[in-house]
């Protein structure tokens, strides 16, 4: 059986990933694809328990290194129980955040040594890496305003301050520039319909161009 495709959506707070994931899944499903929607941190029962630890509480609840270890513990369980089995069964997986978020949040914005994160990637991800990563790009001030409007209890990262979120945005753009074959930067300032069209164009270019 042919391995399924793995698509991730990345970006800072409030860029609209959740909305666009729903729209992308609908498009893929209309084409007859069997799609698994998932998220990080989380996506499996064990990883969802870790999500509660990571996303709730004060901004300084965990050090960046501790956050990194928690993220990768959650990620390994997610891979083993959800992502890898789905791909092996020929399903497409669309994931809200993945390893690039750790590179950006805990690495570039949080100050964790990139070599430490790269070592974790090697041993935890193995060959479970995205075929396409869509980086939704938006001015952090706009994204944070959106995120605050929809906020529930998960506000640790939103509360880290403007400088953190400026570094975060640049980190995602740097990742996309370093891996252009995998990543597509999607301007996220337009309407949901406009952003959806840009995403679908990137997907079609990847597999139908």
Residue range 104-161, pLDDT digits in tens: 989 988 899 999 999 999 999 999 999 999 999 998 888 777 776 665 544 545 555 6
In angstroms, the CA 189 to CA 191 distance is: 7
Helix, strand, coil fractions of the chain, as percent rounded to 5:
55, 10, 30
Domain assignment of residue 1, yes or no? no
Q: Identify the H or E element spanning 136.
A: strand 132-137
Domain assignment of residue 66, yes or no? yes
Domain assignment of residue 131, yes or no? yes
For the record, the structure tokens of 130 come out as 């995205």
Using one digit for the tens of pLDDT, what is the confidence trace for 159-202?
556 788 889 899 999 999 999 999 999 999 999 999 999 999 99
Q: Is the pLDDT of residue 93 over 60?
A: yes
pLDDT bracket for residue 7 (50, 70, 90): very high
Domain assignment of residue 77, yes or no? yes
Going by C-beta distance under 8 Å and a sequence separation of 6 or more, which residues neighbour residue 99?
A: 75, 121, 125, 129
In angstroms, the CA 6 to CA 118 distance is: 20
Q: Which CATH number does the domain housing residue 160 bear?
A: 3.40.50.300
In angstroms, the CA 133 to CA 203 distance is: 10
Domain assignment of residue 146, yes or no? yes
Q: Angle CA(67)–CA(84)–CA(115) in degrees, nearest 5?
A: 40
Q: Which domain holds residue 86?
A: 6-208
Going by C-beta distance under 8 Å and a sequence separation of 6 or more, which residues neighbour residue 33?
A: 91, 92
Domain assignment of residue 40, yes or no? yes
Burial of 150-180, coded b for 16+ CB within 10 Å and e otherwise, reads: eeeeebbbbebeeebbebbbebbbebbeeee
Phi/psi of residue 17, nearest 5 degrees: -60, -45
The overall pTM is greater than 0.85? yes
Domain assignment of residue 160, yes or no? yes
What's the whole-number average pLDDT of the chain?
Answer: 90
Domain assignment of residue 200, yes or no? yes
Q: Is the pLDDT of residue 44 over 50?
A: yes
The packing angle between helices 64-78 and 45-55, to 10°, is: 160
Q: Residues 89-116: what's their mean pLDDT?
A: 95
Q: How many domains does the chain have?
A: 1
Q: Is the pLDDT of residue 35 over 80?
A: yes
- What's the chain's Rg over C-alpha atoms? 16
């Amino acid at each position: 059986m042919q391995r399924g495709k793995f698509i991730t959506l990345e970006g800072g707070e409030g860029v609209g990933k959740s909305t666009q994931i729903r729209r992308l899944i609908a498009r893929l499903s209309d084409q007859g694809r069997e799609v698994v929607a998932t998220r990080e941190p989380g996506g499996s029962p064990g990883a969802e328990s870790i999500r509660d630890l990571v996303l709730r509480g004060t901004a300084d609840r965990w050090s960046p290194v501790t956050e990194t270890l928690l993220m990768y513990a959650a990620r390994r369980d997610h891979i083993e129980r959800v992502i890898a089995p789905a791909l092996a069964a020929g399903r497409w997986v669309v994931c809200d955040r993945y390893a690039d978020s750790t590179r950006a949040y805990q690495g570039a914005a949080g100050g964790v040594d990139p070599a430490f994160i790269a070592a974790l990637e090697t041993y935890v991800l193995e060959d479970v890496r995205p075929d396409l990563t869509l980086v939704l790009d938006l001015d952090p001030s706009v994204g944070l305003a959106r995120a605050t409007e929809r906020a529930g209890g998960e506000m640790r990262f939103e509360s880290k301050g403007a400088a953190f979120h400026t570094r975060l945005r640049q980190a995602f753009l740097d990742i996309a520039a370093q891996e252009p074959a995998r990543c597509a930067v999607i301007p996220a300032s337009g309407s949901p319909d406009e952003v959806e069209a840009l995403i679908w164009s990137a997907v079609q270019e990847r597999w139908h161009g």
